[in-house]
Amino acid sequence: MKITPRYFPVLLLTALFLGKTAVGFAQDNPASRPGMADMLEQITPAVVNIAVTGHIAVPDNPLLSDPYFRRFFDIPEQPLERETQSVGSGVIIDKDKGYVLTNHHVVHEADEIIVNLHDKRNVKARLIGSDEGADIALLQIDADNLDALPLGDSATLRVGDLVMAIGNPFGIGQTVTSGMISALGRTGISREGYEDFIQTDASINPGNSGGALVDYNGELVGINSAIITPAGGNVGIGFAVPINMAMSVVDQLLEFGEVKRGVLGVEITDLTPDVVEALDLDIKEGAVVQRVTKDSSAEKAGIEPGDIIVAVNGESITGMSDLRNTIGLIRAGTKVKIDLVRDGKRRSVTAEISGRSEQISTAVEGGESSVLEGVEFSTIPESHPASGKVEGVMASAVDQNSRAFAAGLRVNDIITAINRRRVRNPEELQEILQELHGAIALSILRDNRPVFLILR
């Protein structure tokens, strides 16, 4: 049937009638409304607000510290410190023992920590332990009738999964926001931290720190930790510590009161596509060992510069940040199986992780230019201890502004191979360099110890 203009009023009235009927039906039948209200009613009591008071030192002003200056200008005595107050969020993970998970930066240097429960009770909390590296802290409260959030498995998360952030933004009270997982394995947010962040566009604002990131099954998959914000509020880029990482920290906090980070004793960099091409590899992910510390766990296990670590205890290693996080969360004294690629062949070694306080260091990467520009080479002089014992080419001068210097090349380094091709003299070096494009891998002898550098 052809619809003519004279039917429009009838159609409009019909649409309004049906719309009103639908709205009325939804109001009379709350169960028909789409949403997550029923699930949230079950889990939100396990997310708490945290109020922290403490003291910080007041920066010393030499003029205000001078009694004659204060007396002349009638300035009262200045306090050496001032009281601070802040708010955050937390998650109850064990209702029987009263364990509350939050961020390290929420309770750092707190004098008093008060947990505000969902039923309006205020309970003083005890700090069991805190780890700045992972930004995780564990509190304990003495209270009954608590609710705890069930733990999920952050290893199963995928980009696009729907999540909700629950916390106390700006101290206004408990708030729920929803979004999706925007990315996984984010690093570089804090230069000193152990990072494997979940990125989400669920609104996270100041005060949400330490709150829960839950999936649509109501399971805890992350602890909200940080945001990128040019103006102080949410712009859709928030980060959460994966619950698997957080719980590995909790285990050590409960046992030791601190995290005793493991150390392998290597300097590493990422395995990038240009390095894969330079070394003619059939793998795409891993951490390239550039240097092995003397007497370290890595040296004792037989790991060598140039090795590419691809797995630890059967879990794939995607890059240097992944290896750093994995080793850093393993207890000292633990033996681990390390899979690596050497000269294109896969092999396995066993290393006993040491307990020194040093962390795995990451090497400085080069830039995008002629990689050996600013470097002068010569044959190994007869006066050198390696003369007659080692075949290679010596770096006789390295410009400190060069890409090579930034990548770690130093004067007196002896280059023995480039991309696994032997180098015996400066002529061979030049021939090899003329055939190569992109990144190059240098096998180096420094102070009679092997070093492996990637220059881009």
Note the pLDDT tens digit of each residue in 248-300.
Answer: 899 989 988 888 777 888 888 888 887 788 778 888 889 888 888 777 888 89
- The residues facing 178 across adjacent strands are 164
Final residue belonging to a domain, choices 231, 256, 281: 256
**What average pLDDT does the segment 19-32 reach?**
52
CATH number of the domain to which 69 belongs: 2.40.10.10
Domain extent for 324: 266-362
The closest of 334, 278, 44 to 166, measured between CA atoms, is: 44
- 214 and 302 share a domain? no
Is 448 part of a structural domain of the chain? Answer: yes
Tell me: do 122 and 71 sit in the same domain. yes
Last residue of a domain, one of 116, 141, 166: 141
Q: Phi/psi class of residue 93: alpha, beta or left (left: φ > 0; alpha: ψ in -120 to 50)?
A: alpha
DSSP code of residue 350: E
User: Total domain count for the chain?
Assistant: 4
Sign of the torsion angle spanned by Cα atoms 321, 326, 329, 330: negative
DSSP assignment letter at 87:
E
Segment 340-394, tens digit of pLDDT: 998 888 999 999 888 744 333 333 333 333 567 778 888 887 778 887 788 888 8
- CATH code for the domain in which residue 432 is found: 2.30.42.10
CA distances (Å), 216 to each of 10, 171, 197, in order? 43, 25, 19
| Boundary (domain end) residue, out of 362, 395, 422 | 362
Is 426 within 8 Å of 381 (Cβ atoms)?
no
164 plus 237 within the same structural domain: yes
Catalytic residue ranges: 105, 135, 209
Closest CA to 50 of 177, 176, 173: 173
Give the pTM.
Answer: 0.65
Both 170 and 246 in one domain: the answer is yes
- 158 and 132 share a domain? no
Identify which of 208, 230, 149, 214 has the alpha carbon closest to the alpha carbon of residue 181. 214
Enumerate the β-bridge partners of residue 55: 83
Give alpha helix (H) positions in 271-310.
273-279, 297-301
Give the contacts of 111 (CB within 8 A, at least 6 positions apart).
53, 54, 55
